[in-house]
Chain A
Amino acid sequence: MDDREVVSEGAQPTERPLLVDRAVAAGLDVVHVAGRAGAYRLPEIHGAGAGLFDMDGDGDLDLFLPQGQTEPPNPTLVDRLYRNEGVGPAKGSDAVPRFVDVTATANVGSVGYSTGVAAADYDNDGDVDLYVTAWGPDRLWRNRGDGVFDDVTAEAGVAGDAAWSVGASWLDLDRDGWLDLYVVRYLEMPAGAPSICPTPSGEPDYCGPTTYRPLADRLWRNRGDGGFDDVSVAFGVGARPGSGLGAVTLDVDADGWLDLFVANDNMPNFLWLNREGRRVDEEAVERGAAVNADGAAEAGMGVDAADFDRDGDEDLAIAHLAGETHTLYRNGGGWFLDDGRRAGLEASSRGATGFGLVWLDLDLDGWLDLLSVHGHVHRVPELAEAGDPFPYHQADRLWRGRSGGRLEPTAPRALPVLDAGRAGRGLAVGDVDDDGDPDVVVTAVDAPVALWLAQSAGTRNGASSPSWLGVRLVTAGRDALGAVAILEHADGDRQARVRTDGSYGSSRDPRLVFGLGGDATPQSVTVRWLSGRTERFAALEPRRYHRLVEGSGTEGAAL
C-alpha cells in the first residue's frame, strides 16, 4: 500500500485541528539564535532542545529554553526560563497559559552555546533541578526551591571537559534512591577542524559527522551528598566512542534495572544493559537495535521508547536523516526487530531529517501517536535552486497510532502547524494547560519557539471530548523516574514509564496520561516502582491527575 499521503480522519477541514500554535498568545517570544555567519560550524545546524518541568512545585509546567550563541559572543543571548502562570480563570476554546520570563531572577541566564536540557530532582529535596548540555561546558543548576538556581557544576563534580553534548538522561542506575546522570556526547571539534563541506555545485554547506571524531559518553553516579563520581570507565561506557545525540531509558530485559538506549549519528546505536547497577554492557548489535533491517547504521537523532503496540514491552522509535527512514525497533521480549516498514513508518519518513521525536496519545484514543519535527542539515538542492535563503526547512510529521501497531501518517497540509517552514529540532511534550491532552513545545534553528496546544480534551471541549486519566508517580518526594504504571483496562492493559528523557535535547512532563477514548468510568492502575515494590491504586476518577505515592497503594498486586 502507499501510505505517504493519508489524511487522517481527525484532520478533515471541517474539524478542529489537533494542534494549534499559541506561543505568542502565551507570551513565549524567544527566538533561537544559531550564530550562523558563514563559518558553517556544525552546532549551528543542530539547534537546541527544550525542557518542560515544574520549577516551583505549583503543579504546572514551566519552560527552559537553551540558547545558541554568536561569534564573537553576544552577552544578551542567554538560556531562558519561563514560569507558567496557568490559564487563569478564563476557560474556553481560546484559553492559553501565560508564561513569564524569569530568567534573570532565577539566575539561569548563562552565556554559552547550549544544546539541550535534562530535568530531575537529583538531590531529593523536592525541587526539580536542571542539567544543561552544550557545545562547550555543560552546567548543573540546583533548584534552591525559592525560584533561584545555583550553578553547582564544579562542586557536584560534573564539569566534564567542555566537549559537545546534546542528550542527557537522569536515571537511578543502581537503585539506591539517587538519580544518576548519563550524558550523551557527540563529536570532538578541535579548533581548526574543517567546517565547510561544499555541495556538489560548490556552494558552502555543513559537514557531516564523519568529518569529526566521535566521543565516548559520560556516566556520573550520584553519591547522595550532592556530588557525583565519574564511573564512565568503571561501568564500561568510557570505552565506546560514539556520535550520540539522543538517549532514552527503558528496561529491555524486564529485570527491573533501567537500561539505556543511545541513538548514534551515522554509526551503530548503543544499547546499554544494566547489570544490577554494577556495570553496563553494550548489546545493541546482539539484540537487533544497532542498525536497521538492511544492516545500515543510520543518522540517529531523536529517540523515544514506549509500548506503542500494547504488548507489554517498550518499543523504540528513532528519527533519522533524509534518504534514510525513521526506524521503529519493535521489542519482542528484549530482542528488537526493525519493523518500520510493516508499521507504516518507513515510506512516509524517507524524505525527512528528523530531530525531536516523541510517542504521545494526542487524540486520547488509547493508541500512542508518533510526532517528529524535521529540518535538513544539508542544503536542499531544490530549495536552494528556487532561491530559498534558508534551504534547510522541512515539514514535520504526525503518525496516528492505530490498533494492531499501525502508524498512519497525517499529511502536513492537514495540520498546518506541521508545515511552518522551520528546521525543527527540539520537541518537549507535556500537558502545559493541564487539560489532559499532551501539548508540545517545538524549537527550530534560528526561529521563534512554538507552543502547540492539543485540542483533544479538557473542559473546553465539552462532554463529548475523549476521556483520560493522569497520574503522577512520586517516590521520596520526587517524581519516580523509571517507575511503570499499568492501566488495567477492558481493552487490554497499557503501560507507561515515568521518564523525562528521550526526544532530542529535551526534557518532558514526568506525569503519565492514559487516553480512554469514550470510557469515562473510574480506572485502576498498578505501579511497578523501581524499588521492586508493586502497588495497586483503584477507583481513580478520569479527567484529572492523581498523585500516587510509593507506599500508599495496595501492595503486592499481581501483574
Chain B
Amino acid sequence: MLPRPRLVLAPMLAAGLVWGLALCSCTAGNDEGTTARRDPKPPVVDLSRVDPQVHEVVSEALDAVDTAIEYEAPAAERGEAFGMLAELCHAHELPACALEAYGAAAALQGEDLRWPYLEGHLLLALDRPDEARAAFGRASALDPEAVAPRRAMADAALAAGSLELAEQGYRAVLEVAPSDASALWALGRLELDRAAEVGTGERPGEQDGLLESAAAHLAAAHAAAPAADAIEHALARLARLRGQHDAAREHALRAGSTAPAVSDVHLERLARRRTGVHNLAARAQDEVLAGRLSDAVATYRVLLTRAPDDLRARVNLASILVRLGQLDTARRELEEVLERAPDDIAALYNLGTLELLAGRAEQAADVLDRVLARADEHGEAALNRSIAAWQLDDLETAAETIARAVSSRPHDELPWRWWAVIELRSGRAPKALHRLDDGLERVGTADERAVLEADRIRLLATVESVGVHDAAAALIRAEAIEDAVAALPATLAWDAWRSLAMAAAAAGDLRAVAWQQRAVGSASRSGAVGALDQLRDELTLYREGGSQRLRWWRPLGEVVGDPILPGQVGGGA
C-alpha cells in the first residue's frame, strides 16, 4: 500500500486544527485523553486514483484524526474522528481503511453502537458473514433493545448458512418488535425451507406444522406491510408446497419486488457520506427512479455548483424540470447546453418535448426533426414528432413518423396505441384495429398487453366503421380483462378503465359508471390531472344515461413520452 499523500491545509483542516487545540486545552490532565502511546494510529490509504472530491474529504478526515491524536483530544473525540474517517472510507469503498478506522473508533468509544454496527455491514459486504455477525453482536450488546443490530445478526447468520441461528435471530427481533414485517417474512421463508426439507423425508406431520407456522408468519408480515408484494413469492412457495398450484400461480402473478421497508438511520447516514460528482449523479438517478423528483433536482443543483460544465447533468436536470412542469426553468437549462453543444441530441429531444407540452407544436416539430436527422432510430423523438404533426393536422407526417417510432420501439405499447389513433383519425378504422393487433403480438409485458387490449375493446365497442363493431362482444372481453386492468399501475390503469367504461356504455351496461369511477380514482392517484376533468364529465354523462358516442382518443397531453435522461437508452449522447 502506498503512503498517504500529504495535502496543503484546506480551510476545513485549518478549522480542525483549531478544534484540536481547543480540545487539548480543555481536557488537560484528564487520563482518558492522554493515552497517546496506546492510541490506534490512522490508517494508511492510497488516494492517488480516487475522485478529487473524495480525495479531499477523506484526506480531511485523516488529518482530523492526526490532529486529534497529536493534540491528545479525549478518547471520545478521537473516536469520533476515527468514526468519521471510517464512514467516509466505507461509503467510498475503501474497505481496508474503513475496517481499521472502525476498529480504532470502537476502541476509543466502546459504548457507541455505530462503529461495530457499521463494521458489521462492511464485513457482510466483503462476504465475511461470521465476522459480521460477531460485530453485530457487539453492537447489540451495547443496546439490547435496538432492532437493527438484532436483525443484522440474523441476516449475517443467514449469509453464513447458519439457518438455526438465523431463525433464532429473527425471533429475537420479534421479541422487541412483534410486528416487524421483515423479520416475520424472513421467519416464514426459513420455515418454508424446513418444510420443504422434511417434506421429502418421512415426517409429513412435521411439514404440516411448519407450513402452518410459515403461513401465520407470512400473513402477519403481509398485514404489517401490505404494499410489500415480494411477500407474495413466499405465499406462492407455500401454496406450491401444499400442492395448490392454482393458488401458487395467483400469488406468483401478484408478486413483485417490493420488500418490507426497513428504516436504518446508520445506513442512511452512510449513504449521505458519499461525495464526488459521480456519486451525486448516481444519487440523483436513484432519486428519479424512486419518483423523488424534487430531491433529484436539489441533488443536480449541488452537482452543478461543483461541476458547472457537466452538460449531461444539466440535461438531466432539465428533463426532470419538464416532468415537474417547470417548463421555463427547464428551457433555460437546455438553452445553456445547446449554446455549448448545438447538436446535443438529448438536449434537443428534451427541448422538443418541452415545446410540445407548452403547446408550441410547430417549434416542437422543428426541434424534433433535428433530433431525427441526427439519430434516425430515436423512437421517443419519432413518437413526439408524430404527436406534433397531429397537432398541426399533418396526418401524413404523423403516420410516417409513428411508423419510425414503432420500428424503433416495437415492444412498447405507446407507439402502437398512437398509431391506432392516427389511423382512426385518418378514417382508417380497420387499420387502427390491425395496429392494435400487431402491437398485441409484439409488446413486452402483460401490463402493456392489457392496455392494448383495453384500447381494442374500446375501438370495437364504440367505432362502427371498424367493420367488426360489436359492443356486446366487446363488453364480454371487458369482463375478461377486468382483473388484468385492476392489476395495472395507476398510470396505465385510468385509461384502461375508461376504455372498459366506454365499452359498457356502448352496450348499455350499468358497469360503465363503476368502471369510470375507477378511471377517475386511478387518474387522481397517478397525477394525470390533465385528464381528470374530462373523465369526470364522462362519469356524469354515464350517470345520466347520456350519449355513448365519446371521443375515442385520449387527451393529447397524456400521450407525450416522458423526457429522457441521457443515461437511459434512447436519449442519445
Minimal beta-carbon separation of B493 from chain A (angstroms): 20
Chain B residues with CB under 8 Å of A233's CB are 441-442
Chain B's interface size range is 35 or more
Query: Which one of A198, A211, A295, A386 lies within 8 Å of B96 (CB-CB)?
Result: A386
Complex Cα distance, B99 from A257, in Å, reads 55
Cβ–Cβ contact B278 & A198, under 8 A: yes
A322 at the interface (CB under 8 A from B): yes
Interface residues as binary, A184-218 with B (CB distance below 8 Å gives 1, 0 otherwise): 00001010111000111111000000011100100
**Does B370 touch A at the CB level, under 8 Å?**
no
Contact of B444 among A192, A202, A239, A295 (CB under 8 A): A239
CB distance from A261 to the nearest CB of B (A): 16
**SS class, residues of chain A in contact with chain B:** loop
Contact A382 B95 (CB under 8 A): yes
Please state if B569 and A381 are interface contacts (CB–CB under 8 Å).
no
Query: Given A291-B233, A295-B259, A332-B240, A193 and B127 touching (CB < 8 A)?
Result: no
Whether B259 lies near A339 (C-beta < 8 A) is: no
Contact A335 B278 (CB under 8 A): no
A297 lies within 8 A of B92 (CB): no
B163 proximity list for chain A (CB < 8 A): 1, 341
B54, B93, B194, B230: the one within 8 Å of A296 (CB)? B230
Chain A residues within 8 Å of B255, by CB: 285, 291, 295
Q: Are B51 and A202 in contact (CB under 8 A)?
A: yes
A238 to B276 Cα, complex, angstroms: 41
B509-536 vs A, CB cutoff 8 Å, 1 = contact: the mask equals 0000000000000000000000000000
Q: Which residues of the partner chain B approach A200 to less than 8 Å between Cβ atoms?
A: 54, 91-93, 274, 276, 279
- Segment at the A interface, from B109-117, B246-254, B541-549: B246-254
Question: What is the distance, in angstroms, from B231's C-beta to the closest C-beta of chain A?
Answer: 8
Contact A382 B196 (CB under 8 A): no
Q: Is A387 a contact partner of B1 (Cβ separation < 8 A)?
A: yes
- Whether, in the assembled complex, A401 has its beta carbon less than 8 Å from a beta carbon of chain B, the answer is no
Per-residue A-contact encoding for B156-177, CB less than 8 Å = 1, 0 else: 0011111100000000000000
- A328 to chain B minimum Cβ distance, whole angstroms, is 12
Q: CA A85 – CA B350 in complex, angstroms?
A: 62
Out of A4, A335, A339, which one reaches B160, CB within 8 Å?
A4
Say whether B94 faces chain A, with CB atoms less than 8 Å apart.
Answer: yes
Scoring A188, A339, A341 by chain B CB atoms within 10 A of each residue's CB, the highest score goes to: A341
Bound complex: CA A143 to CA B142 (Å): 70
A15 at the interface (CB under 8 A from B): no
B42 within 8 A of A: no
CA distance A192 to B229 in the complex (A): 37
Check B570–A213 contact: CB distance below 8 A: yes
Judged by a CB distance under 8 angstroms, whether B309 is at the interface is no
Binary B-proximity of A469-505 (CB < 8 A = 1, otherwise 0): 0000000000000000000000000000000000000
B49 interfacial by beta-carbon distance below 8 Å: yes
Q: Please, what's the 1-or-0 string for B36-67, where 1 marks a CB less than 8 Å from any CB in chain A?
A: 00000000011001111110000000000000
A-chain residues with CB within 8 Å of residue B567 when the two chains form the complex: 194, 211
Contact B237 A337 (CB under 8 A): yes
Determine whether A244 belongs to the interface, using a CB cutoff of 8 Å to chain B. no
Q: Please, how many angstroms separate the alpha-carbon atoms of A200 and B272 in the complex?
A: 12
Task: Give Cα A347 to B59, complex, Å.
Answer: 37
Chain A residues with CB under 8 Å of B480's CB are none
The digit string for B227-250, where 1 denotes a CB below 8 A from any CB of A, is 001111110110011000100110
A108 to B125, CA, bound (A): 44
A223 proximity list for chain B (CB < 8 A): none
What's the least CB distance linking B199 to chain A, in Å? 9
Give the residues in chain A near B411, CB-CB below 8 Å: 216, 239-241
**What is the bound-complex CA distance between A241 and B233, given in angstroms?**
22
Distance to closest chain B CB from A518 (angstroms)? 26
Q: Does A351 contact B (CB under 8 A)?
A: yes
Task: Find the B residue at minimum CB distance from A202.
Answer: B51
Interface residue from B1, B200, B234 paired with A295 (Cβ < 8 Å): B234
Partner among A2, A288, A290, A323 whose Cβ is within 8 Å of the Cβ of B248: A288
Contacting residues, chain B, for A297 (C-beta < 8 A):
257
Cα A216 to Cα B444 in complex, Å, equals: 9
Say how far A327's CB is from chain B's closest CB, in angstroms. Answer: 13
Is the C-beta of A16 less than 8 angstroms from some C-beta in chain B? no
Contacts known (A294-B259, A337-B240); A201 close to B161, Cβ less than 8 A:
no
Closest-CB distance, A6 to chain B (whole angstroms): 10
Say yes or no: A386 contacts B1, CB within 8 Å. yes
Are B162 and A288 within 8 A (Cβ)?
A: no
Decide yes or no whether B129 CB sits under 8 A from chain A. Answer: yes
Query: A338 → chain B, closest Cβ, in Å?
Result: 8
A295-B161 in contact given A198-B51, A288-B252 (Cβ < 8 Å): no
1/0 per position for B530-573, CB-CB distance to A under 8 A?
00000000000000000000000000000000000011011011
CB–CB B126/A203 < 8 A:
no
Q: A294-B233, A342-B193 are in contact. Are A194 and B573 (CB under 8 A)?
A: yes
Residues of B within 8 A of A313 (CB): none
Q: Which of A193, A202, A332, A385 contacts B569 (CB 8 A)?
A: A193
Cα–Cα distance between A233 and B49 once the two chains are bound (Å):
49
> Do the beta carbons of B276 and A4 come within 8 Å of each other?
no
**CB proximity of A200 to chain B, nearest CB, Å:** 5
A295, B240: Cα distance in complex, Å: 15
CB distance from B250 to the nearest CB of A (A): 9
Query: Contact: B443 with A285, CB < 8 Å?
Result: no
| B248-292 to A contact mask, C-beta < 8 Å, 1/0 | 110011011101000000000000001010110000000000000
Verify if A152 is at the interface (C-beta below 8 Å from B).
no
- Asked if residues A202 and B252 are in contact (CB atoms below 8 Å), the reply is no
A286 within 8 A of B: yes
Say yes or no: B252 contacts A286, CB within 8 Å: yes
Report if B150 contacts A (CB, 8 A): no
Knowing A239-B443, A337-B240, say if A201 contacts B50 (CB, 8 Å).
yes
User: Complex formed: what's the CA distance from A202 to B159 in Å?
Assistant: 29
18 more A-B contacts (CB under 8 A) besides A202-B278, A382-B95? A4-B160, A194-B573, A199-B93, A239-B411, A239-B441, A285-B255, A296-B257, A337-B237, A337-B240, A339-B193, A339-B196, A342-B194, A342-B196, A342-B197, A350-B129, A350-B159, A381-B93, A385-B96
Q: Which residues of B contact A (CB under 8 A)?
A: 1-2, 45-46, 49-54, 91-97, 125-127, 129-130, 158-163, 189, 192-194, 196-197, 200, 229-234, 236-237, 240-241, 245, 248-249, 252-253, 255-257, 259, 274, 276, 278-279, 377, 411, 441-444, 566-567, 569-570, 572-573
